[in-house]
A and B are shown apart, each in its own frame.
Chain A
């Protein structure tokens, strides 16, 4: 079968492509150019820079597979970067990788792949897709609990899952590195990327301000009772649960507990004030294709590095849900995703309101 391997130039997607080629598939490497990189020296060390595209090409040469760079600058800007900025402006904390997976890799790129007679797109995600007896595609965690990336894939629909291959799902990271070294892939020792690819310096606030200068809009920092404790230069500079950079002096550590875009108010409080037992989510995707008929028990994860907690999830119509945790959870940040699991299987997820 002809398979398109989405190659970022990192070790994971390189090994994914290598495994498929070794299994006898006709692999076509595609790299997505996501933003204009000509003449920009500052962007390196993160995902999908020009150097990374060169790395992808070098890996493809070693594997002796064709490799192409497709330009997705416009789509990336429309779907990922714009949303990222809009979320911060609305006092939310976005996860652009989820949109990149659902709206680009397993949407536009999958369409392009099908146009090339390749019915599936493979990526280097640590996740698994399995088919249930009734033909339904199941999304499962990667076997490597440390690297599991199923959280970033919760928006995938059944047709998208049918077109997805995750060759690393059953592997652990050290095995992936060892394989890359054994095959002498030129990226075997390349460090993992952690930052959001289009903000390699990690300074999200500065990025938002470059895109939207009106983001700089002063507001008040208040305590739980509404007393003014200080001032700030824009809600986009804060995220719920944040402790550093508040510029306040207090005998107790203070955390951002709530953000309000309309009033520009940043509410802070002690650690206990961060805790909530319930949340509501919208744009909920149920992997099976439709919501469960009745409330379900599951574990729910409220950010990538959160330890899932037991909860009762009540579907509200087709695409919303209410989540009630058994125990209060700290720092539930609007804009992040809540993803529901049963064991290793992703049931669905949505965006925290």
Chain B
């Protein structure tokens, strides 16, 4: 049986690094001995436990270093979603009962934040979503308007997963603090792409995920500013300073540490390589394919992401056509695949439906080459052109 040519790995181009990234070779090298030999429980007293503990400690220092924090402030968790949950629920539960009960987030947050707010809302919390401007950036005035004396927590992501826009976190956090609220940022999409320093950002809590920066899946972290009261998300043993019970995922955490070290080095070197590739792709598409437009601010965004709408093309079909050409991209976020709902991010930016339904996210990363990008730019006009000639005009209900 003949499998399609695109199934062969050598012609595939992976441009979906905001969904997940490949494991960096150095990360794998770090993890293998931990998986093979250093299997101890980090809480055990004996040598096996001590070896595991050393891995966790080393990783904790590396992750703290990546964001300019102290190791004791890092709480390892299962990923970005758990970190977001722990931040929001942990702060909410630690708040004095019956008094201040208001949480604010931006309208373009990840579902991990938005759905958590919905649950808190059902439990009697007031929640507000702050709109974004057309460029996908929260206007500070809008946050100011949403804050009240009741506000306990503000959560605004550092970089958006779908369009890559970077939010003015320092300004927003200062605003929240003036009203006596804590500030959480989901930095899952900026870590490894932008230099991060918690003190410059001025935030109180910050979420990270390993697999978005060439680390393993199933591990992330919440940074919690020293002294902040947070109620544990899950109870059990006293791991992670009583903030996250459960035996540590030692190999995952060790891999996260290795990935954090690599990311810190890369951030130190400046990620101009990725930005140059992204710009080459973006310019190539905008010049080569008529009826294309970039969604979101093109200046204030992470260096690896571009989100482009292709007029008159169903994004779902374009994604499949590109995959059959060996090019992996996504429509919106990976989490929303298979749903009809247009991207809540593009909607919040006021994009009309035809633009939200035709938008494709390209997110670059480790391993992408100029040759790959040039090939994508080259096939794009043909692939899009084919879809456009065969597109049925949008049908209206009852037609």
Contact = CB atoms under 8 A, between A and B. Distances in A.
A binds B: yes
Interface of A: 2, 21-22, 24, 26-28, 30, 33, 36, 38, 63-66, 68-71, 73-75, 77-78, 82, 108, 111-112, 114-117
23 contacts: A24-B1, A24-B2, A26-B2, A26-B4, A28-B4, A63-B1, A64-B1, A64-B7, A65-B3, A66-B323, A71-B340, A78-B398, A78-B399, A108-B392, A111-B390, A111-B391, A112-B317, A114-B390, A115-B390, A116-B320, A116-B324, A117-B321, A117-B324
Contact of A78 (B6, B317, B395): B395
A31 to B, nearest CB: 10
Contacts of A70: 316-317, 320
A74 B340 CA distance: 8
Contacts, number: 71
B317 A116 contact: yes
B203 to A, nearest CB: 33
A64 B5 CA distance: 12
B45 interface: no
B387 interface: yes
Contact of B321 (A64, A69, A115): A115
Contacts of A33: 338
Nearest to A71: B340
A116 B321 contact: yes
Nearest to A33: B338
A36 B7 CA distance: 30
Nearest to B382: A117
A38 B323 CA distance: 25
Given A21-B1, A65-B4, A115-B391, A28 B340 contact: no
Contacts of B5: 26
Interface string B356-398: 0000000000000000000000000000001100111001011
A287 to B, nearest CB: 23
Interface string B312-334: 00101100110110000000000
Given A66-B4, A66-B6, A71-B339, 11 more contacts: A28-B324, A38-B339, A64-B1, A65-B4, A66-B324, A70-B316, A78-B398, A78-B399, A111-B391, A116-B317, A116-B321
Contacts of B320: 28, 30, 68, 70, 116
Interface residues of B, number: 26
A118 B387 CA distance: 12
Given A71-B316, A111-B390, A64 B340 contact: no
Contacts of B398: 78, 82
A30 B7 CA distance: 16
A156 to B, nearest CB: 17
A213 B387 CA distance: 40
Nearest to A114: B390
A24 B4 CA distance: 10
Nearest to B337: A69
A67 to B, nearest CB: 10
Given A78-B397, A78-B399, A114-B390, A36 B324 contact: no
A112 B313 CA distance: 11
Contacts of B324: 2, 28, 66, 116-117
Interface in B1-47: 1-7
Select the residue from B2, B392, B398 with max chain A CB neighbours within 10 A: B2
Contact of B338 (A69, A108, A115, A117): A69
Contacts of A116: 317, 320-321, 324
Contacts of A68: 320, 323
Nearest to B321: A116
A38 B128 CA distance: 26
Contacts of A22: 1
Interface string B101-137: 0000000000000000000000000000000000000
Contacts of A30: 320
A36 B1 contact: no
Nearest to A70: B316
Contact of A115 (B6, B323, B386, B397): B386
A273 to B, nearest CB: 36
A30 B323 CA distance: 13
B112 to A, nearest CB: 17
Contacts of A77: 397
Given A66-B323, A74-B340, A115 B4 contact: no
Given A28-B324, A82-B398, A115-B317, A64 B3 contact: yes
